[in-house]
Amino acid sequence: MSNATDRLRVAVQKSGRLAEPSLALLRRAGLVFRSSRDHLFLYGENLPIDVLLVRDDDIPGLLVEGSCELGIVGRNVLTEQRYGNGAAPSPAELIALGFGACRLAIAVPQTSAIATLRDLDGLRIATSYPALLAGWLDAEDLRAEIVVLNGSVEIAPRLGKADAICDLVSSGATLAANQLREFATVFESEAVLAASPRKAPAAKALLIERLCARIGGAQSGDGVRLLMLQAPRTALADITRVLPARDPPSVMSLDGRPDDIAVQALCSVALDWQHLEELKRLGAHGLMVLNVERMLA
Ligand code: PRT
Ligand code: ZN
């Protein structure tokens, strides 16, 4: 099925870890939605961009078949599908989104004597990510047996179904609660914006570009502050040295005050009270720090 309308469709997880942050990101990119009665579809009111709310595992398939042009999904889900699909066209990762961070890791019982990767040879490893695990075992030249489970992977060793597990970890609390210790990282993941492998018609391609630019803009404002101050012109070099700025600051002359300047600088969050006090000591005054909501280069 291909999506023949001129509206862009973005697949987003309906409920789960990525659901809230995905919609929040689209809203920060300026999209306004009206929800359908069954809450499975969000109609874009200010741009021809709609959201389809689905299970995360369905997102790669929707992109491959072209029902949706874009999707927000864990890189783990996307890559598992890609490895599992051989040479078939697969969705491309457009932007790493910085939330939903986790790692696919091998864990073994705390009491296990396993100490090196070679010790995994010949063991049974339970996972819901057989393709990612197989790729890693291959790359490490290890021969372990993969036991595919679709849930509750962490209890497999206790049930005697496996000697080790390969599962997603974020805080590590689940491993600890199941008396498992993390042993090796197989894959690092976070939520990504992915695109259908099908070529979009020109109008949709432009819309995709526009949405990507807005998402990039919403992201680049994260944690960025705009610092504004005035200072004697002679203090500029010292002030610039102290600023945790991303780029050289903008410097402006002030009408009728030839010895003074106004300075604006985009700074990282590392801008704290100590920085401001130091700047004041160097002669700056009228210091102001503002949150940056969005940026467009
Ligand atoms: O219903 P649907 O199929 O859509 O949801 P789901 O249950 O398959 O997915 P969900 O919501 O659990 O996860 C969606 C995505 O979030 C995953 O594909 C990952 O990209 C990302 N993510 C980030 C995680 C985690 N962190 C995570 N910790 N997904 C799962 N977990 C699980 C993990 O499997 C383990 O059971 O949380 C447990 C470990 O967490 P810690 O904090 O105890 O280490
Ligand atoms: Zn799922």
Q: Is the CB of 64 under 6 A from ligand 1?
A: no
Nearest atom in ligand 1 to the alpha carbon of residue 169 is: 44
Sheet containing 49-54: which strands, arranged edge to edge?
Answer: 33-35, 41-44, 49-54, 8-13, 70-74, 191-195, 92-96
Joined together, the tokens standing for residue 158 give 């206790």
pLDDT in tens, 213-230: 999 988 877 778 999 999
Using CA atoms, how far residue 275 sits from 234, 269, 270, 279, in Å, is 19, 11, 9, 6
Q: Could you tell me the distance, in angstroms and rounded to a whole number, from the CA of residue 49 to the centre of ligand 1?
A: 27
4 confidence band (pLDDT: 50, 70, 90): low
Q: Could you tell me the distance, in angstroms and rounded to a whole number, from the CA of residue 95 to the centre of ligand 1?
A: 20
Q: Is the CB of 196 under 6 A from ligand 1?
A: no
Cite the DSSP H helix spans in 49-117. 59-65, 75-84
Nearest atom in ligand 1 to the alpha carbon of residue 55 is: 4
Do the Cβ atoms of 144 and 136 come closer than 8 Å? no
Question: What mean pLDDT comes out for the span 234-245?
Answer: 91
Do the Cβ atoms of 76 and 189 come closer than 8 Å? yes
Q: Is the CB of 167 under 6 A from ligand 1?
A: yes
Nearest atom in ligand 1 to the alpha carbon of residue 128 is: 34
Q: Is the CB of 72 under 6 A from ligand 1?
A: no
Report the predicted TM-score, pTM, of the whole model to 2 decimal places: 0.85
The protein residue whose alpha carbon is closest to atom 8 in ligand 1 is 56
Q: Is the CB of 189 under 6 A from ligand 1?
A: yes
Distance CA 248, CA 225 (A): 14
> At how many degrees (to 10) do helices 19-28 and 202-220 cross?
100
138 confidence band (pLDDT: 50, 70, 90): very high
Q: Is the CB of 77 under 6 A from ligand 1?
A: yes
Q: Is the CB of 168 under 6 A from ligand 1?
A: yes
Pocket test for ligand 1, best of 12, 76, 168 (most atoms within 8 A of CB): 168
Nearest atom in ligand 1 to the alpha carbon of residue 56 is: 4
Q: Is the CB of 149 under 6 A from ligand 1?
A: no
3 confidence band (pLDDT: 50, 70, 90): low
Joined together, the tokens standing for residue 65 give 């078949």
Q: Is the CB of 177 under 6 A from ligand 1?
A: no
Q: What is the pLDDT of residue 223?
A: 76
pLDDT in tens, 150-191: 999 999 999 999 999 999 999 999 999 999 999 999 999 999
3-state DSSP assignment of residue 166: strand
Residues in the chain: 297
pLDDT in tens, 33-77: 999 999 899 999 999 999 999 999 999 999 999 999 999 999 999
pLDDT in tens, 78-121: 999 999 988 889 999 999 999 999 999 999 999 999 999 999 99
CA 123 to chain centre: 33
Q: What is the DSSP pairing of strand 41-44 with strand 33-35?
A: antiparallel
